[in-house]
Structure 1
């Protein structure tokens, strides 16, 4: 798509606005940077989701953040006013890992570097999850003993974990020395949008360290990996990708992912990507449409209803 054809959804003509909303049946929406910032709200996002639902759209959520529990996510969506939210409406890396482990009958136990919420989710689904909690000071003299593999593992799981330790990273590398142990990874975001003013580093560098040291490439089950696209299509029975609209705030993790999956794409400028970065991107890296925020759908539907 050329630069001239990249339009803000509120700058489309009345006819184009109607054609746009009629061109998709399913909305797949990122969370952090779109529905909210990690530590701050974004206005009227729940109202926008409800407007899409009122138009008959199926609205699903695809996040690279597994740090929240199911109950935390439910509270977040209910808190912003999303109607009829179900926990099955959201896909995040730990859920994708669970799907992959079961579909491919991965041997257990597995060694996890996931968050405590992620580990609880896996255990509740019947996965034998092992972790490392050091019961003594980690020193050069104790590190080898503390990180010594207990037994063979079917896989090492990696995801965002705010309590990740060096000893856990070392233990993961030692389990991965066994070539039969699979390496499965989630959250790859390079930045975490805490507020409009504060960005924090993501966890991709720790994953790169493990991969480089072990010379093992992980199986990625988070955006922008195509494997996640196949999981989404299977779990939600998305048989017509071109009738799906992917909304996100990242050119790579959302727009690039959506395009590769065959979805239409909409970039919102409420998170990690600024408008200058969008215009500087190559034509194939740009979204099909853009908006300032997902709340622009409220005005879009008001325009359509007024002009009908």
Structure 2
């Protein structure tokens, strides 16, 4: 058990609650398990974001889920009542990949192990994306032909892809045999929290298989990698990490990412992490604060208003 007691934001004194909200200017929120479950809503999350914005906070969203298009995210945030949401307010692995591709001037085609919306997003902005899609029955006799490299690739892009197939994985290993082909990965989460009662495996094990087979270490551009923190710092011109609060539902990805970047961290218990896991974690892996859900910010601001 950890010796460090983590304060719940609603159990802070009135003065401590004021000090807490005055200690940050930027709030970065994970989405799945924080704003909503992947396939179900979470009550009060949109109202909480609006309360933070009304207090002058810049609210950004940092998710490892690239399976949705910008239009879908606009609809989702609008559906939970978030005011003035802009597509530039959210970063996910495909946007980070695009940043990396542009910064490192990758001109060759890229091979995508990413979701169809992700692939369309990359193509829309001019990236030459190649995929492997076949309706042919796969046999030992035709696997080699079907997965034959069609051209030299500048990178293999790996992310969450619910319709990922074995031929696509095999083709990626053949492209990665070229040591000049970069290996860029997003989806590293262990779990995908679909609803409050349903959690399914994430895609980290498949990534581990690719790493082990190819002997290649991917460039991780998603949480909890520090590289993502550098990308966020550049895109949003973040001056002082200590004035940023990162809100997430995962100790291994959200809290670890925030700690890696020097942010303040807040764990919400609405997603993948039960409270027992938080208390049992090592002190260096624990958040600075915790809450039951984003909706606690509504009550927090009500408390502050009463004590004013």
Pairwise TM-score range, normalised by the shorter structure:
over 0.9
C-alpha change, 1:262 and 1:133, in structure 2 (3 Å) is same
- Residues in 2 aligned to 1:118 and 1:40: alpha-carbon distance in whole angstroms: 22
Residues 135-284 of structure 1 mapped to structure 2, 5 A cutoff: 135-284=135-284
- Residues in 2 aligned to 1:258 and 1:210: alpha-carbon distance in whole angstroms: 27
Instruction: Check whether the contact 1:107–1:155 (CA below 8 A) recurs between aligned residues.
Output: no
Work out the number of aligned pairs and report it.
307
- Residues in 2 aligned to 1:187 and 1:172: alpha-carbon distance in whole angstroms: 15
CA offset at residue 107 of structure 1? 3.0
CA offset at residue 136 of structure 1? 1.8
Superposition TM-score, scaled by structure 2 size: 0.98
- Residues in 1 aligned to 2:97 and 2:53: alpha-carbon distance in whole angstroms: 28
Match of 2:23 in 1: 23
- Residues in 2 aligned to 1:272 and 1:162: alpha-carbon distance in whole angstroms: 19
- Residues in 1 aligned to 2:53 and 2:106: alpha-carbon distance in whole angstroms: 37
Residues 48-197 of structure 1 mapped to structure 2, 5 A cutoff: 48-197=48-197
- Residues in 2 aligned to 1:164 and 1:223: alpha-carbon distance in whole angstroms: 21
- Residues in 2 aligned to 1:32 and 1:135: alpha-carbon distance in whole angstroms: 32
CA offset at residue 126 of structure 1? 1.0
SS of alignment partner, residue 195 of structure 2: coil
Please say which of residues 126-135 and 295-304 is displaced more in the overlay: 126-135
Q: Give unpaired runs (5+ residues) of structure 2.
A: none
CA offset at residue 135 of structure 1? 4.2
- Residues in 1 aligned to 2:108 and 2:51: alpha-carbon distance in whole angstroms: 44
SS of alignment partner, residue 10 of structure 1: coil
Instruction: Check whether the contact 2:4–2:283 (CA below 8 A) recurs between aligned residues.
Output: no
Match of 1:42 in 2: 42
- Residues in 2 aligned to 1:70 and 1:95: alpha-carbon distance in whole angstroms: 11
SS of alignment partner, residue 276 of structure 2: helix
CA offset at residue 32 of structure 1? 0.1
CA offset at residue 102 of structure 1? 0.3
SS of alignment partner, residue 157 of structure 2: strand
Root mean square deviation, CA, Å: 0.8
SS of alignment partner, residue 242 of structure 2: helix
Cα deviation, 1:219-254, whole Å, max 9, x if unaligned, reads 000000110010011101111100000000000100
CA offset at residue 125 of structure 1? 1.2
SS of alignment partner, residue 231 of structure 1: helix
- Residues in 2 aligned to 1:90 and 1:231: alpha-carbon distance in whole angstroms: 13
